[in-house]
Structure formats: structure tokens, C-alpha cells
């Protein structure tokens, strides 16, 4: 592990909302949210009222009656996100992009050209502000985990450098939900046993944490609480999954409502697959009902696909399956989400909460279901991942992902 702090984590502040304020200067200084039925992103002015990503639109309007909703300009998000990452690439080739608006960079090999890491970070922040009109917060530390936490502490529009000799002093006083892998569900479990800071988590015996969260999560969080993170900045890895979502608002459960949305999402996802020559095998659809209740359906195909029409047809059947299992639901609310995975069953991260996904997989005794037009197992109990029987049987293909 490095002995000096040379890993940068750069994170654009309130990215979607900031881009909207950049494109429309009349929105600057006002509370805005991207979305409609569900808040996809909120400006800092909106966050001051308690509005966060994943919140329902009606609840957001309750908290802030003057809140302004905007539809979103996703091509501009991609364009400006790419431009910001390219600023990092001008300083070092060792850049690992982890989302549209954030990336790690290792500057150990370029300090003789551009100065110490702090000066490099300052230069990056100046250029992003001058060239793009956006604010970026940067954290600098010896490890990726600590650099990411430092960038969160630096928000908004700040820079934090963690002294290698004071890492644990810095880390252990911070809230536990700043840790990579602690989402709302894990945070709630830790709160039940009185763990609110990373320092308190570090003092929990490993076996106790593993009993509470499971062996993998317990071991990982214990290591991160002591800043044991051997991961390096990876520059060459291809995306294994892709997704798209669409805010629907409160709409009746009818085909003429969800079919156009799914076809739009399928086109967005499939066009990305074809552009990258990356057909996928697993299709996942997440449907959110009134009251923000949501269900997920997923299927893994025998052969990869990238055709818009095929992807849309499979997604429609998955939605029909979900709706058939919940006839009491009469209103769609929030977002329809469509995900693709190159490798097989893989849960997608959400900005709001961890999710569980069950995927169908071809095994012995399979047959061709003409209605679904996908190869499924003969045991139809797996078709409903919400039932305990289905969850048990599909356990080998079920993974949990913490945000």
C-alpha cells in the first residue's frame, strides 16, 4: 500500500441539478429537482429542505412548495461528465471512472510535472469550473475508500487531503453511512446496535458484525473501518451492465402507459449495447407502484441480445408478470427501470437503497415458454422472486448489492 496520499476521488456536486442550472441560468439559486413522480436529483437549495434522490414528487413538494421540477437533459449530462473526466486525463493516464460524474485518479507518477497532489487537485477544480461552469469536490488519500469519503466531506465545492499519519483520527469520527457499502438497510441495522460512527464500527468484534450483516459484508466493513483497502486504480475495465430509467408520475396500470416507456428505455439501453458491441443475457425490470412500493423481475437468456425490439418485448412480458402478481395495485408511480447485464445475474446499484434481484436461469428440465419467448426452468416457483419458495430455489442466482 502507498505511504503517501496520491489517490484522488473527484465528484461533481449535485451533478444533474447543477447541469440544469447551467443550461438555464434562471434556475440558479432556486430549489430544483430532476424528475417528476420521483426525484432523480436535487440541487443544494432543494436539499436544504430535506429533499433527496429517490423521494416521491408529492413528498418533495410538501417539503418545498416552491420546488421546480425539470425533465432532464441526459445527453448534456453525458457530454459534461465526459468533459470533466477528460480534465483528469490531462494530468494522469491512471483514471478510473466509476459513474457519469465521479472518478478516481492516481497522480503518483505525475507529481514531478504538475506538483504535489493538492496542487493537482486545485488545478483540476479550477479547470472544471472555468471550462465547464461546474463545481467538483475532491478528496485525496492513500486508499480509494478514504479518498471517496474525503470527497464527501469536502462537499460542496471543496478539497480535503487526508494526512497519512492522521487517517484513523479523521475516519473514526465520521458517520458510518459515509462508508462505501453502507446503504439505508445496513445503516438501520447498525443503528439498532448503537453503531453511528465509523470508530464505533471499528470496535465491534468481527464475528459479531458477520452475524449481523453476513460474512462478506462484515469482513469488508471491518477492513474499511481500519482503512485496509488494497484496491488499486484500474484504468482498463469494461462496463458489465447498463441501465435506464424513466419517471412516470402517478399513472394507471395500463399497457398504453408502460409500453411506450419500456420501448423508450429499451431503445436507450440497446443503442448503448450496439455502440459498444456488447450484447447482454440478463434483462431486469423494476416497477414502482403508488406509495413507492416496488417489485423487480429479471430473466437470463440462453443467448445474448442487443436488438431494441427483442429487449422491449422481453421487458414488457416481465412487467406483465409483475403486474399479474400484484392485481391489487392500480397505479404506477415513480420510475420504470430497465437493466442489462453482460455476464448474467447482477444487481444494479441505486442512489437510494439496496435492492434484491432474482434472475431466471436455464437448468435441467427446461422448456421453451412461447408466451415469454425465453428459456426458463420447468419449476415456475422461481418466476416470482417475491415468494419465499422462489427466493430459496433461486438462491444460487440471487445476489445482494449495497449502495
* The 3-state secondary structure of the chain, one letter per residue: CCCCCCEEEEEECCHHHHHHHHHCHHHCCCCEEEECCEEEEECHHHHCCCCCCCCEHHHHHHHCCCCEEECCCHHHHHHHHHHHHHHHHCCCCCEEEEECCEEEEECCCCHHHHCCHHHHHHHHHHHHHHHHCCCEEEEEECCHHHHHHHHHHHCCCCEEECCHHHHHHHHHCCEHHHCCCCCHHHHHHHHHCCCCEHHHHHCCCHHHHHHHHCHHHHHHHHHHHCCCCCCCCCCCCCCCEEEEEEECCCEECCHHHHHHHHHHHHHHHHHHHHHHCCCEEEEEEEEEEHHHCEEEEEEEEEEEECCHHHHHHHHHHHHHHHHHHCCCCCEECCEEEEEEECCCCCCCCCCCCCEEECEECCCCCCEEECCCCEEECCCHHHHCCCCHHHHHHCHHHCEEECC
Q: Rounded to an integer, what distance in angstroms lies between the CA atom of residue 125 and that of residue 118?
A: 11
Among residues 20, 45, 96, 102, the one annotated as catalytic is 102
Which three cell numbers, joined as nine digits, stand for 113? 510535472
CA nearest 173: which of 200, 149, 145, 192?
A: 200
Is 167 among the catalytic positions?
no
CA 57 to centroid of chain Cα atoms: 20
CA nearest 100: which of 116, 80, 124, 119?
A: 80
Which three cell numbers, joined as nine digits, stand for 343? 455476464
Distances (CA, A) of 293 to 296, 317, 331, 334: 11, 20, 11, 9
Catalytic residues: 102
Amino acid at each position: 500500500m502507498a505511504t503517501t496520499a496520491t489517490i484522488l476521488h473527484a465528484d461533481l456536486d449535485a451533478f444533474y441539478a447543477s447541469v440544469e442550472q447551467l443550461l438555464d441560468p434562471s434556475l440558479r439559486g432556486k430549489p430544483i429537482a430532476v424528475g417528476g413522480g420521483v426525484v432523480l436529483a436535487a440541487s443544494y437549495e432543494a436539499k436544504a429542505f430535506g429533499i433527496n434522490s429517490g423521494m416521491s414528487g408529492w413528498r418533495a413538494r410538501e417539503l418545498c412548495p416552491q420546488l421546480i421540477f425539470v425533465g432532464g437533459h441526459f445527453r448534456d449530462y453525458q457530454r459534461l461528465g465526459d468533459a470533466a473526466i477528460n480534465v483528469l486525463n490531462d494530468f494522469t493516464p491512471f483514471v478510473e471512472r466509476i459513474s457519469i460524474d465521479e472518478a478516481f485518479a492516481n497522480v503518483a507518477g505525475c507529481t514531478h510535472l504538475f506538483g504535489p497532489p493538492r496542487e493537482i487537485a486545485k488545478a483540476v477544480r479550477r479547470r472544471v469550473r472555468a471550462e465547464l461552469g461546474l463545481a467538483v469536490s475532491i478528496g485525496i488519500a492513500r486508499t480509494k475508500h478514504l479518498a471517496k469519503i474525503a470527497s464527501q466531506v469536502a462537499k460542496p465545492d471543496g478539497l480535503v487531503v487526508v494526512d497519512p499519519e492522521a487517517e484513523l483520527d479523521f475516519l473514526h469520527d465520521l458517520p458510518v453511512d459515509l462508508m462505501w457499502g453502507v446503504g439505508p438497510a445496513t445503516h438501520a441495522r447498525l443503528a439498532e446496535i448503537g453503531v453511528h460512527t465509523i470508530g464505533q464500527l471499528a470496535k465491534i468484534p468481527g464475528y459479531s458484525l458477520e452475524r449481523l450483516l453476513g460474512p462478506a459484508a462484515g469482513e469488508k466493513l471491518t477492513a474499511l473501518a481500519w482503512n485496509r483497502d488494497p484496491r488499486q486504480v484500474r484504468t482498463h475495465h469494461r462496463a458489465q451492465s447498463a441501465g435506464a430509467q424513466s419517471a412516470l408520475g402517478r399513472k394507471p396500470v395500463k399497457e398504453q402507459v408502460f409500453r411506450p416507456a419500456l420501448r423508450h428505455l429499451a431503445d436507450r439501453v440497446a443503442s448503448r449495447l450496439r455502440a459498444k458491441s456488447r450484447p447482454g443475457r440478463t434483462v431486469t425490470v423494476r416497477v414502482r407502484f403508488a406509495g413507492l412500493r416496488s417489485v423487480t423481475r429479471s430473466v437470463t437468456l440462453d443467448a445474448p441480445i442487443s436488438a431494441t425490439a427483442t429487449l422491449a418485448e422481453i421487458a414488457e412480458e416481465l412487467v406483465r408478470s409483475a403486474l399479474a402478481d400484484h392485481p391489487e395495485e392500480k397505479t404506477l408511480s415513480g420510475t420504470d427501470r430497465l437493466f442489462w447485464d453482460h455476464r448474467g445475474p447482477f444487481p444494479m446499484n441505486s442512489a437510494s437503497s439496496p435492492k434484491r434481484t432474482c434472475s431466471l436461469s436455464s437448468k435441467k428440465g427446461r422448456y421453451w415458454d412461447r408466451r415469454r419467448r425465453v428459456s426458463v426452468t420447468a419449476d415456475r416457483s422461481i418466476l416470482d422472486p417475491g415468494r419465499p419458495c422462489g427466493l430459496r430455489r433461486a438462491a444460487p442466482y440471487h445476489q445482494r448489492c449495497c449502495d
